Chains A and B, each alone.
Chain A
């Protein structure tokens, strides 16, 4: 580095090779510790700070060791990125979290793709097969992450149509594009037949096509999984870009993010009874069949039991009398921005002497854990929010359950309607509760397209249709 724009003194000697590698191990371990801390509520904040500190230190030791500390031209970019990032983080509303994560994901993927492009351009005429192949791979993965995430973010932000768009021969198209992308990687790694600029453009075009086609057919319930998968991919892109520029810390942290992201995706798939491969290959839940009517026997039996007791006809009376009330929020609540009203409802009930608990399905919302964030932001006490496994046995003892904008996550058909898309998905045992009040936009089945037998129950169920914000206000005034 002896160009005139680069100051000519070296900082690399300040940090010996072994010292640098030891620091890399320490920082990678700090990242692992940070992620580990993030798995408990009490330590989560500390965990995030540890990770952030590790990355900051990683930047500093990289600047020193790779002799780029005095290259002042890099600092304006860092400052601009820092400021934009912090403003974004401050301005975003919690309901917009899914699209922010998707957007940041795409941005990270783009950065990795650019880094790898630099590496490929530098090495293109050399026989560096390892470097060129990894660079090509990182370009492709980074660009797919970028375009896939942009489409996902656009859908979540309602800039793009939210309905899944399925092209004719969608699966075949996905497969062909994947093969072409693989071909471009081989072209970049082993051959030198076309100019690097042309190759980069070809890679970008096909990666864009693949990313768009991959995300555009995703709707509703598969969205959390897609975002999580793209999250994992952006880690993989970073790690592979790390191979291309021979940066050990980048490889380590990218690998950690890629693998843990993939596992998180699997956890989500399990919670939704979806197969990761199906999602990768483009089979959406929407293709599920509607014809199977949910087995209705258990519900019918429940009906008979219910009819023996005389029920008050008015849900308001039921709620007034209830001593223990469960609230089940779903994406409909988020959509209607009704979380503050839900909190008011809960407060009214608690001040009347009832206990209120929130039961959250692991994949409620557009992003796992999104409901928790929204409720807690609305000011709901953290202690009142329960995860499915912790509360599921208590539904039968609750006096009433209020469902707000949720359907599939409490559909008993998941237990016994074989062949439906939700069969086998763990659900909230709302149907075991004797009084169920459902606030929902309409009587249509949920995203899965499977009818919910609870809606057909003759007694103990009240469905209040309409926008949750309006219906809740109405309900609150009656209380």
Chain B
């Protein structure tokens, strides 16, 4: 195995441990926005989609690669953009104060 692969494993372990420790005291009322926010974060696979598509375009079968690559990019982007936007929409409601509500 190459050095970079050991580094990746190390990064994965550290990230997992920190991520695990981080979620301790989330009040349950925030679980829905939190889940939806983390869901958006899992769309980070967009990075892989961009990378894989760009690489595959120079390979032997660029048309097929482009079609599948674009599907991956579109899906990952829906995940990221939709996830963050809907989380933002939810949290905006949480931020409203009592007085504003009464005016409605």
The interface of chain A, by Cβ under 8 A from chain B, is 1-3, 5-6, 28, 31-32, 34-36, 38-41, 44-45, 47-49, 51-52, 55, 58-59, 62-63, 66-68, 71, 73-74, 76-78, 80-82, 84-86, 88-90, 92, 94, 97, 100-101, 104-105, 107-108, 110-112, 114-119, 122, 130, 227-228, 231, 234-235, 237-239, 241-264, 267-268, 271, 360, 362-363, 367-370, 372-373, 376-377, 379-383, 385, 387-388
**In whole angstroms, how far apart are the Cα atoms of A112 and B48 in the complex?**
8
Assess A111 versus B31: contact at CB under 8 Å? Given A51-B40, A234-B42, A247-B51: no
Give which listed residue, B19, B29, B50, B80, contacts A256 with CB less than 8 A.
B19
User: Which of B35, B81, B85 is packed against the most chain A CB atoms within 10 Å?
Assistant: B35
26 inter-chain pairs at a CB distance below 8 angstroms, sorted by A residue, are A1-B55, A32-B22, A35-B19, A38-B34, A39-B23, A48-B91, A51-B37, A59-B47, A59-B50, A66-B51, A67-B54, A77-B70, A78-B73, A81-B77, A85-B78, A85-B83, A101-B36, A108-B79, A114-B52, A117-B68, A231-B35, A238-B48, A248-B7, A250-B47, A260-B23, A369-B28
Q: Is the CB of B35 within 8 A of A228?
A: yes
Shortest CB distance A447–B (Å): 18
Pairs of residues from A and B, 3 with the lowest C-beta to C-beta distance, nearest first? A81-B77, A85-B81, A255-B15
Which residues on B are within 8 Å of A, measured CB to CB?
Answer: 1, 4-5, 7-9, 11-20, 22-59, 62, 65-66, 68-98, 101-102, 104
CB–CB B51/A68 < 8 A: yes
B-side contacts of A81, CB under 8 Å: 73-78, 80-81
Count A/B pairs, Cβ under 8 Å. 404
Contact present for B1 and A111 (CB under 8 Å): no
The complex places the Cα of A292 from the Cα of B72 at a distance, in Å, of 51
B45 in complex: contacting residue of A94, A108, A373, CB < 8 Å: A108
B73 CB, nearest partner CB in chain A, Å: 4
Besides the contacts A32-B19, A51-B41, A84-B78, what 19 more A-B pairs have beta carbons closer than 8 Å? A40-B27, A55-B44, A85-B80, A89-B83, A105-B42, A111-B43, A111-B46, A118-B65, A119-B52, A231-B39, A234-B42, A235-B42, A246-B4, A247-B47, A258-B19, A259-B18, A260-B20, A362-B31, A373-B33
Using A48-B88, A74-B53 as known contacts, say yes or no to A108 and B98 having CB atoms under 8 A apart.
no
Residues of chain B within 8 A (CB-CB) of A108 are 39, 42-43, 45, 75-76, 79
Contact A38 B26 (CB under 8 A): yes
> Which residues on the B side are within 8 Å of A71 (C-beta)?
53-54, 57
CB distance from A89 to the nearest CB of B (A): 3
Cross-chain contact A367 with B51 (CB below 8 angstroms): no
B6 to chain A, nearest CB (A): 10
Q: Is the CB of A47 within 8 A of B77?
A: no
Contacts of B41 in A (CB 8 A): 31, 35, 51, 55, 235, 253, 256-257
Q: Is A259 a contact of B19 with CB atoms below 8 Å?
A: yes
Q: Which of B11, B26, B51, B81 makes the CB contact (< 8 A) with A245?
A: B51
Q: How far is the CB of B49 from chain A (nearest CB, A)?
A: 5
Contact A94–B47 (Cβ < 8 Å) = no
Q: Are A260 and B22 neighbours in the complex by a CB distance under 8 Å?
A: yes
Selected from B31, B35, B81, B98, the residue in CB contact (under 8 A) with A86 is B81
Contact (Cβ within 8 A) B93 A377: yes
A114–B38 CB distance below 8 A? no
How near does chain A come to B95, taking the closest CB pair, in angstroms? 6
Residue of B nearest to A379 (CB): B101
Q: How far is the CB of B62 from chain A (nearest CB, A)?
A: 7
A112: chain B residues at CB < 8 Å are 45, 48, 76
> Contact between A62 and B15 (Cβ–Cβ < 8 Å)?
no
**What separation, in Å, do the CA atoms of A368 and B29 have in the docked complex?**
7
In chain B, what residue has the closest Cβ to A242?
A: B48
- Shortest beta-carbon distance from B104 to chain A in Å: 6
Contact in complex: A239, B12 (CB < 8 Å): yes
Q: Is the CB of A370 within 8 A of B32?
A: yes
Residues of B within 8 A of A40 (CB): 27, 30
Most B CB within 10 A of own CB, among A3, A6, A108: A108
Does B28 contact A104, Cβ atoms closer than 8 Å? Answer: no
Most buried by A among B39, B44, B58, B97: B44
Chain A residues positioned under 8 Å from B54 (CB to CB): 1, 6, 66-68, 71, 74
CB distance from B93 to the nearest CB of A (A): 5
User: Given the complex of chains A and B, what is the CA–CA distance between A74 and B46 in angstroms?
Assistant: 11
A79 CB to nearest chain B CB (Å): 8
Interface pair B101/A28, CB less than 8 Å apart: no
A residues near B23, Cβ cutoff 8 Å: 35, 39, 260, 263-264, 267
